[in-house]
Structure 1
């Protein structure tokens, strides 16, 4: 009888051991946590693109009883002096900024400086209403070599790696302009020039995609308006009539541009959030 009980106990223990081994073979590990990109942090980058813009230079003068012009000449000069120039060029430069991610929102501050390459000129001529066939010519040139912006960014995450944003802030550029007036009545000449570091505004939209290891790619559109700068001159001089300082000239120019560019950024450090 004792031998029979011992045999049954051995069989039962063997079955239990086999069941335990079978259960161990079906053990499943917990899922591995994967890092999700976090946009918080300081970044630097570069960009390249193109700009197409315009400027509206203006030249006008005033009538003076002791001056060079008759009354009908002044509005004629103002009409010809209302000119328009277009410009397009390649742009490129450097960017730096900082982002703060709050859930699916990303707030940032960004600055950049770029080669701008804005340059355009215009020329117009007309007969003097009083004194045909003598005529006059007005010419203008407007340029800006560089452009810098300081902008805020406000965006949302379409996916953890895909940021859509709006941006806006200040635009700064060194705007230069030259103006010239000549005529065939008395070989009269006048010139004016200005160089002004203009502070205007800019606004736009963009998208940025994080490709990993701190790198991201972006595409962006900006509209820039640098306002209007003005200068005056009193250097009108005729070959025989001499100087006419009472005919004060006013010269001005504005500058507006559209910019489309692509770029690459590298973010330093910043937290990484774990997800399943």
Structure 2
């Protein structure tokens, strides 16, 4: 064997090893490439849909809020108010929301009677209102104004009357969970004179907090 032949043996062995390794690699199963999972962007929050909830707060009248049966001043009334509300919102755009709401509240508005003036109270109030406003903070904060018709039962001694009127106010509602929101609201309610000389309009201020559950039946 010549020196040249001896030197070629290592090269031949290297080529053979590479060929065997390539054949073994070809026999291995191909590794499947998995693309990263696609995460869809979360849908924007929407106020559209039906809702229902409960509220509690306080109510009071001005000093001339009621007149007693003798024609005098019934005095200022104040008390707790609490009840239920239900409505429907429709989001016209990312900024604008409109809707309707009905509510029924049971009140502690009352004044004790005396020898001259009978007891006065307003056991319940109800309203049907339109709401409209704008959204802020990723559409989860709803600032709104509201107005509509109102009614309530007024008791002045032996006289019980259900009086009609109007109400208006505004509030803020915050969606703290996908289906839950909390609100703070002020309403001014004016129950109009009904033709009886011994009844004046009842002017009632209400401040209340509430919570709503939002249904997604039509989303």
TM > 0.5 between the two? yes
Question: Which residue of 2 is the match for residue 48 of structure 1?
Answer: 56
Q: For residues 95-141 of structure 1, give each alpha carbon's deviation from its aligned partner in whole angstroms, at most 9, with x where no partner exists.
A: 11011111121110100101122212576xxxxxxxxxxxxx84243
- TM-score where L is the length of structure 2: 0.74
Question: Which residue of 1 is the match for residue 159 of structure 2?
Answer: 194
Tell which has more relative contact order, 1 or 2 (C-alpha 8 A, sep 6+): 1
Deviation at 1:29, TM superposition (A): 6.8
Question: Which residue of 2 is the match for residue 266 of structure 1?
Answer: 213
Deviation at 1:199, TM superposition (A): 0.8
Matching of residue 144 in structure 1 with residue 149 in structure 2: no
Question: Which residue of 1 is the match for residue 24 of structure 2?
Answer: none
Question: Which residue of 2 is the match for residue 39 of structure 1?
Answer: 47
Equivalent position to 2:156, from 159, 173, 177: 177
2 CA distance for matches of 1:145 and 1:167?
23
Equivalent position to 2:97, from 78, 82, 106: 106
Q: For residues 188-215 of structure 1, give each alpha carbon's deviation from its aligned partner in whole angstroms, at most 9, with x where no partner exists.
A: xxxxx42211111110111111122311
Q: For residues 2-33 of structure 1, give each alpha carbon's deviation from its aligned partner in whole angstroms, at most 9, with x where no partner exists.
A: xxxxx9xx9xxxxxxxxxxxxx9xx8776641
Tell me the SS of whatever aligns to 2:73: coil
Tell me the SS of whatever aligns to 1:34: coil
Q: Contact 1:142/1:253 (CA < 8 Å) preserved in 2?
A: no
1 CA distance for matches of 2:86 and 2:174?
16
CA gap 1:214/1:100 in 2 versus in 1, 3 angstroms: same
Tell me the SS of whatever aligns to 2:46: coil
Tell me the SS of whatever aligns to 2:47: coil
Equivalent position to 1:89, from 69, 79, 86: 79
Q: Contact 1:84/1:122 (CA < 8 Å) preserved in 2?
A: no
Q: Runs of 4 or more off by more than 4 Å in structure 1?
A: 27-31
- TM-score where L is the length of structure 1: 0.60
Matching of residue 209 in structure 1 with residue 217 in structure 2: no
2 CA distance for matches of 1:265 and 1:116?
20
1 CA distance for matches of 2:130 and 2:174?
18
Q: Report the aligned-residue RMSD.
A: 2.7
Q: Which has the higher strand share?
A: 1
